[in-house]
Amino acid sequence: MSGVIRHVTISGRVQGVGYRAWVDEQANSRGLEGWVRNRRDGSVEAVFAGPEAVVADMIAACWRGPSSALVDSVQAGAGSSDLLNLRGAGERFALLPTL
């Protein structure tokens, strides 16, 4: 993997609206590596890895989300290979269980 790794938390009405499936589809269509999962606090957490411009575009898209979502905030920070490796071996992009 070359490029950047970003750790992202999305808050608002982002659970029960297909947000994780939307992130999975969007990330795969951009060729990104990483994962997405719901959190018990009602937010969605994701890690995106790939070329800097593509990752930045994905983070910007997280503000829109699927049509039934209502995003209040998107917080992005540096990610790490340890975070990226929470996905299963051989998976490019994964939907992880709720944490």
99 belongs to a structural domain: no
Q: What is the pLDDT of residue 75?
A: 98
39 is catalytic: no
**Euclidean distance between CA atoms 43 and 78, whole angstroms:** 18
Out of 6, 20, 37, 87, the active site residue is 20
CATH number of the domain within which 8 lies: 3.30.70.100
41 belongs to a structural domain: yes
Q: What is the pLDDT of residue 85?
A: 94
Q: Looking at the whole model, is its pTM more than 0.85? A: yes
20 is catalytic: yes
Out of 38, 39, 85, 92, the active site residue is 38
96 belongs to a structural domain: no
Note down the domain range covering 67: 4-86
Which letter, b or e, does each residue of 13-27 get, where b requires 16 or more Cβ atoms within 10 Å of its Cβ?
ebbebbbbebbbebb
Q: Domain count of the chain?
A: 1
- Bridge partners of 34, per DSSP, are 48, 93
pLDDT, tens only, 11-69: 999 999 999 999 999 999 999 999 999 999 999 999 999 999 999 999 999 999 999 99
